[in-house]
Structure 1
């Protein structure tokens, strides 16, 4: 999405050539394949650990850190590999998105009219909100030192990146639609005045 916005704003004349169906399919396929490979590796590592104690995960869903907490043996290798994966699949994409948005913002600021700047900012703001919510809570959960982890906080933060962000994503993007906004205003107006 960030690359799409980057091309649309920074290179609008090249947009149809760059963001064609083939390239979009390659982006989606690449992200799916890379994540599947990583998940298979993490699953293999988890199944190779000895488990001898309690078998209930203190979490809302089956996430790797709570599972590692149940293992009886040494999990240091698993934790290091997990942090490497977190850096590769959280930090690197987040930095790439920030880089594309810095180019987008510098391009927007060079636009001659305030109307075009406002329109360009509104195009990107919804995606940027979702990115910050998703990557912010994911980074806090996975990239902070183990000594500062609180199981209660991790459970709440996991709700943001696993449930709330995907749930609010369509709503955030649809709020940019004028018809949706008008319907929402009518609904709220009718509820407050009846």
Structure 2
């Protein structure tokens, strides 16, 4: 039994996207540009919220937290992906793989909770404007934001503990560009369908709870918007609400495709493309959707540009 549970694999090798050198160069350039813009835009939002007292409100505190989460979330995988596109052998140590797994899932889980809380915040602001300051003070906002971080990383301990304690003694090539549960569990020596099902159900519960709460909040928001007497007011509110929903839907939808499905073999080429959407694209889109379409943020930016 002790021999069976011993881990023999010391490192994993990512298959990545392609073995073609020209394609690697194109992908490296594309991902580097997106990653750089993601860092710049999200960092700018954090500094903007931090340095302007007019933005020290729950909505913008949440936005600053989301921007910081996006930086951490994308940094947990993209630098390694970029280095892999330049390397002939894209390898990662056993410990490094599960460290990446933990932080990638931890930041991702925290973002799910934070998006849910942000949806609830918008619900209070639009559906209960007179009681908003009582229901969502800055203090409560900070408690909510801190709870998202703490719960996200505690929640991640279960799947990473279950998978990391399994035996890896055979093939060590991961058909992906990151350490993900599906490809990892396909490499275990004593693959267990019941364990894979347990992890799938565990992840699915988080996704269904957070996505359901988020979309319920937006459903109430849309119902309230429909009651606005002004047609221009309705259009403006719908425009903002729709853009938020598009990004949230892409994030939740792509992750549900990846993790809410029966255990077994899956089309990894498709999985890689889908993974790019939630690990690279949405962190790049969120600053644009949540900030540059916000009148108060734009006014602060204009004032800063005029004063400079």
- Matched with 1:154 is 271
Can you give the 5+ residue segments of structure 1 that lack an aligned partner in the other structure?
182-194
Of residues 251, 255, 277 in structure 2, which corresponds to 1:134? 251
Shift of the alpha carbon at 1:149?
A: 2.3
Distance 2:224 2:207 in 1: 26
Distance 1:12 1:139 in 2: 33
Question: Alpha carbons of 1:90 and 1:154: their partners in 2 closer, same or farther (altered >3 Å)?
Answer: same
Of residues 136, 140, 143 in structure 2, which corresponds to 1:23? 140
User: Over the residues paired in the alignment, what is the CA RMSD in angstroms?
Assistant: 2.1
Of residues 14, 30, 39 in structure 1, which corresponds to 2:156? 39
SS at match of 2:219: helix
- Matched with 1:14 is 131
Distance 1:145 1:13 in 2: 46
Can you give the 5+ residue segments of structure 2 that lack an aligned partner in the other structure?
1-117, 299-308
Of residues 96, 100, 111 in structure 1, which corresponds to 2:228? 111
The answer to which of 129-138 and 37-46 deviates more is 37-46
Shift of the alpha carbon at 1:33?
A: 2.0
Q: Deviations over 1:36-76 (max 9, x none)?
A: 12211222111210111122211111111111111110332
- TM normalised by structure 2 equals 0.55
Q: Show the 5 A alignment for 1:40-59.
A: 40-59=157-176
Confirm or deny that 1:169 pairs with 2:304. Answer: no
Q: Deviations over 1:1-52 (max 9, x none)?
A: 2111111110111122222122222222222222212211222111210111
In the alignment of these two chains, the number of paired residues is 181
Q: Deviations over 1:91-129 (max 9, x none)?
A: 111111111111111111111111221232233222211
Distance 1:28 1:41 in 2: 22
Q: Does the CA-based 8 Å contact 1:9-1:120 persist in structure 2?
A: no
The answer to which of 6-15 and 69-78 deviates more is 69-78
Distance 2:263 2:198 in 1: 14
Greater share of helix: 1
- Matched with 1:189 is none
Distance 2:277 2:236 in 1: 28
Distance 1:91 1:30 in 2: 19
SS at match of 1:176: coil
Shift of the alpha carbon at 1:178?
A: 6.3
**Runs of 4+ with deviation above 4 angstroms:** 177-181
